[in-house]
């Protein structure tokens, strides 16, 4: 799992004040399945060098969480230093998705760790990750 | 070996085998006791030295069919070798002495179907979590989630709630007849 | 980095972002709910007897009470849209609708209607394509368009 620093891009015409929150996040991509490709595409397109400390560490759970892998997802969250948030990317991570009926799939990452933002899609577009991160920084609470 | 040579070779070396040939593919069905003989013939005599996969098919009352897909890179010839193990004694000798790559395939087949591969160096579950009970890919292991969850399509158009008095009891696709049991 | 990529305007036709419902077309046939592989469409309805002013006898129609799609389960296969016989469901390319609570990913009738505003007009047929069935039925024996 690699840490990638991300400045949040602005829409055309959007000013600095419009996104009046720390505009840098450090993204930890827990890419478990196909959604990992979309997250990689987003990070590749939008990541750059962070000129200082990231304001918040974000664990992005992207892909199907199988029962066998569940303890590792919990460990990844436990070992993430604060301030930390969790973003669930894609249907499988939100609720089990198309595999909700499987004998070995956890029905959503929120069964294991607290999730702050859910990004829907199967898979979501890379830009949907950016939308999710913007919501995370503007709407999330102040959990340590 | 080409397909025709394979069939001829099998007739000579494996008299108990039943073979069928299609375009570029030969399927060989052998009794359980000739399993290793058949695989040895396939690798050493027929030149099918590439092990692709090994899995099982639940034939229910007939038993469990174990299938191996082998391939000859030189002759571009596919070979399926099948055998049937009885449901009350699903034991088969391991193919790992012949094909090292069969080790993980046999572990997966063991945990998913319950086939015991005698002589396997490390027959422990591969994909299922610790403490998982049952063999999920057997036909009598139902997908409990679909059977117990309320199906949104069970209602008739205009019906307020799914009632037991519906003229025909709609069953969602994928749920076996008679499940969940009363 | 291109900020305009955050919007759905530039996406190709028939992009699958979210599903919109045109309630007026829905007859509550339940086909979408039955065919959905994920079971993520929730429909509730009741029957209503309607006496039209000039009609000879009263008719019974289905009235939609609830139509919801749970986008936390949806895999965007489009089977519901393809199977709907009355063109009540449409693709929209909008993709930016994350939520902080998972219940917010279940969109009810009003939100599904709002998505209709983002549904683009259908793209033109490819050159050389046969004419649509409606045009063929209207004038039988007409040759291919263009």
Inter-chain Cβ pairs, chain A and chain B, closer than 8 A: 25
Q: Find chain C residues with C-beta within 8 A of B151's C-beta.
A: 39
C-beta atoms of B153 and C46 within 8 A: no
Q: Average the pLDDT over each of A101-115, B23-37, B141-155, C76-90 and give the range with the smallest value.
A: B141-155
What mean pLDDT comes out for the span B93-109?
A: 96
CB contact C97 to B (< 8 Å): no
**Cβ of residue C75 closer than 8 Å to a chain A Cβ:** yes
Tell me which of A143 and C60 has the higher pLDDT: C60
Could you tell me the two tokens for B153? 């399509």
* Strand intervals (E) in chain B: 18-22, 25-29, 50-58, 64-72, 77-85, 91-93, 116-118
> What integer pLDDT is reported at residue A100 of this predicted model?
93
3-state DSSP call for residue C3?
helix
For chain A, the structural domain boundaries read 3-8+20-139
What would the pLDDT profile of C72-114 be if each residue is shown by its tens digit?
A: 999 999 999 999 999 999 999 999 999 999 999 999 999 999 9
pLDDT at residue A24 is higher than 90: no
Residue A52 pLDDT more than 70?
A: no
Q: Cβ of B141 under 8 Å from any chain A Cβ?
A: yes
Q: Which domain holds residue B53?
A: 3-89
Confidence of residue A12 (pLDDT cuts 50, 70, 90): low
- Give how far Cα B44 sits from Cα of B40, B80, C40, Å: 6, 15, 53
pLDDT at site A74:
95
Chain B / chain C CB contacts < 8 angstroms: 43
Q: Take residue A17 and report the two structure tokens written for it.
A: 């004040």
Residue contact A103–B141, C-beta within 8 A: yes
With bands split at pLDDT 50, 70 and 90, how would you rate the model's confidence at A140? very low
Residue C13 CB burial class (10 angstroms; 0-12, 13-18, ≥19): exposed
Contacts of C95 in chain A (CB under 8 A): 121, 124-125, 127-128, 131
Q: Which of residues 150-179 of B touch C (CB under 8 A)?
A: 151-153, 155-161, 170, 172
Is residue B43 within 8 Å of B99, Cβ to Cβ? Answer: yes
Bin A120: left if φ > 0, else alpha if -120 < ψ < 50, else beta. beta
Pick the residue of B112, B126, B128, B175 with the most A CBs within 10 A to test the interface with A by mutation. B128
Measure the CA–CA gap between A101 and C36, rounded to whole angstroms. 14
ipTM: 0.83
Cβ-based interface (< 8 Å): residues of A facing C:
7, 9-12, 14, 45-46, 91, 94-98, 100, 108, 110, 115-122, 124-125, 127-128, 130-132, 135, 139-140
Q: How confident is the model at residue B160 (pLDDT cuts 50, 70, 90)?
A: confident
Residue B151 belongs to some domain of the structure: no
Tell me which chain A residues have a C-beta less than 8 angstroms from the C-beta of C99: 117-118, 120, 135
The reply to whether B54 falls in a domain is: yes
**Mean pLDDT, residues A17-32:** 71
Amino acid A2: pLDDT = 59
The CATH number that applies at residue B60 is 3.30.460.80
User: Model confidence at B24, in pLDDT bands (50, 70, 90)?
Assistant: confident
User: What whole-number distance in Å separates Cα of residue C65 and Cα of residue C44?
Assistant: 5
A100/C98 Cβ within 8 A: no
**pLDDT higher than threshold 50 for residue B47:** yes
- pLDDT of B122 higher than 90: yes
Q: What are phi and psi of B120, to 5 degrees?
A: -70, 135
Cβ–Cβ below 8 Å for B136 and A67: no
Please state, rounded to an integer, the average pLDDT across all residues of chain B.
87
Burial grade of C92 (CB within 10 A; 0-12, 13-18, 19 or more): buried
Number of domains in chain B: 1
Average pLDDT over residues A61-77: 95
How far is it, in rounded angstroms, from Cα C72 to Cα A98?
Answer: 10
Whether A40 has a pLDDT exceeding 60, the answer reads yes
Task: Give yes or no for residue A22 having a pLDDT over 60.
Answer: no
| Residue in B with minimal Cα distance to A104 | B128
B127, B128, B145 ranked by CB distance to A101: nearest: B145
Helix/strand/coil percentages in chain C, nearest 5: 25, 25, 50
Query: What average pLDDT does this structure show over A28-33?
Result: 89
Residue A79 has pLDDT above 60, yes or no: yes
pLDDT value of residue C144 = 52
- Considering the domain boundaries, does residue B78 fall inside one? yes
* Tokens standing for residue C55: 């009609």
Residue C95, chain B, CB below 8 Å: the answer is no
Confidence at A5, pLDDT banded by 50, 70, 90: low
Residue ranges and CATH numbers for the domains of chain C are: 3-13+21-120 (3.30.70.3270)
Whether residue A97 and residue C38 make contact (CB cut-off 8 A), yes or no, is: yes
Q: Give the closest of C40, C42, C45 to B157, CB-based.
A: C45
Task: Specify if B63 maps to a domain.
Answer: yes
Whether the per-residue pLDDT at B165 is higher than 80: the answer is no
pLDDT tens over chain C, length 146 residues: 445 678 888 898 889 999 999 999 999 999 999 999 999 999 999 999 988 788 788 888 899 999 999 999 999 999 999 999 999 999 999 999 999 999 999 999 999 999 999 999 988 888 998 887 888 777 766 555 43
Q: Does B127 contact A70 at a Cβ distance shorter than 8 Å? A: no
Mean pLDDT of B142-157: 81
**pLDDT recorded at residue B134:** 92
CATH T-level topology, domain A3-8+20-139 = Rossmann fold (3.40.50)
């Amino acid at each position: 799992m690699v840490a990638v620093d991300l400045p949040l891009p602005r829409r055309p015409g959007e000013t600095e004040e419009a996104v009046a929150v720390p505009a840098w996040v450090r993204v930890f991509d827990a890419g478990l399945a196909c959604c990992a490709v979309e997250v990689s595409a987003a990070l590749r397109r939008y990541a750059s060098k962070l000129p200082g400390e990231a304001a918040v560490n974000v664990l992005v759970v992207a892909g199907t969480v199988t029962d066998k892998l569940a303890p590792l997802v919990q460990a990844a969250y436990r070992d993430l230093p604060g301030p930390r948030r969790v973003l669930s990317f894609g249907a499988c991570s939100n609720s089990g998705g198309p595999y909700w009926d499987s004998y070995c799939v956890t029905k959503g990452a929120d069964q294991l760790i607290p999730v702050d933002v859910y990004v829907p899609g199967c898979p979501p577009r890379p830009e949907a990750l950016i939308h999710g991160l913007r919501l995370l920084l503007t709407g999330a609470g102040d959990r340590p | 070996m080409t397909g025709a040579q394979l069939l001829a070779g099998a007739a000579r070396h494996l008299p108990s085998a039943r073979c069928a040939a299609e375009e570029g593919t030969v399927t060989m069905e052998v009794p359980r006791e000739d399993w290793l003989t058949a695989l040895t013939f396939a690798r050493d005599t027929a030149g099918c030295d590439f092990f692709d996969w090994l899995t099982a098919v639940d034939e229910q009352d007939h038993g469990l069919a174990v299938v191996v897909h082998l391939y000859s890179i030189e002759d571009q010839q596919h070979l399926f070798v099948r055998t049937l193990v009885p449901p009350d004694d699903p034991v088969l000798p391991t193919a790992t002495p012949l094909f090292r790559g069969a080790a993980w395939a046999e572990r997966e087949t063991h945990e998913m179907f319950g086939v015991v591969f005698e002589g396997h160096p490390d027959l422990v579950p591969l994909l299922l979590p610790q403490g998982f009970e049952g063999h999920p890919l057997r036909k009598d292991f139902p997908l409990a989630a679909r059977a117990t969850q309320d199906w949104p399509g069970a209602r008739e158009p205009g019906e307020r709630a799914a009632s037991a008095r519906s003229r025909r009891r709609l069953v969602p696709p994928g749920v076996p007849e008679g499940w969940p049991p009363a | 980095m291109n900020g305009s990529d955050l919007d759905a305007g530039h996406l190709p036709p028939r992009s699958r972002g979210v599903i919109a419902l045109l309630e007026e077309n829905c007859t509550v046939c339940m086909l979408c709910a039955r065919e959905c592989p994920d079971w993520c469409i929730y429909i509730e309805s009741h029957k209503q007897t309607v006496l039209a002013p000039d009609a000879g006898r009263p008719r019974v129609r289905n009235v939609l009470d609830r139509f919801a799609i749970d986008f936390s389960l949806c895999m965007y296969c489009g089977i519901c849209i393809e199977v709907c016989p009355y063109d009540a469901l449409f693709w929209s390319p909008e993709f930016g609708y994350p939520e902080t609570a998972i219940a917010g990913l279940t969109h009810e009738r009003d939100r599904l209607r709002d998505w209709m505003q983002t549904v683009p007009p259908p793209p033109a047929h490819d050159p050389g394509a046969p004419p649509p069935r409606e045009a063929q039925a209207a004038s039988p024996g007409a040759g291919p368009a263009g």
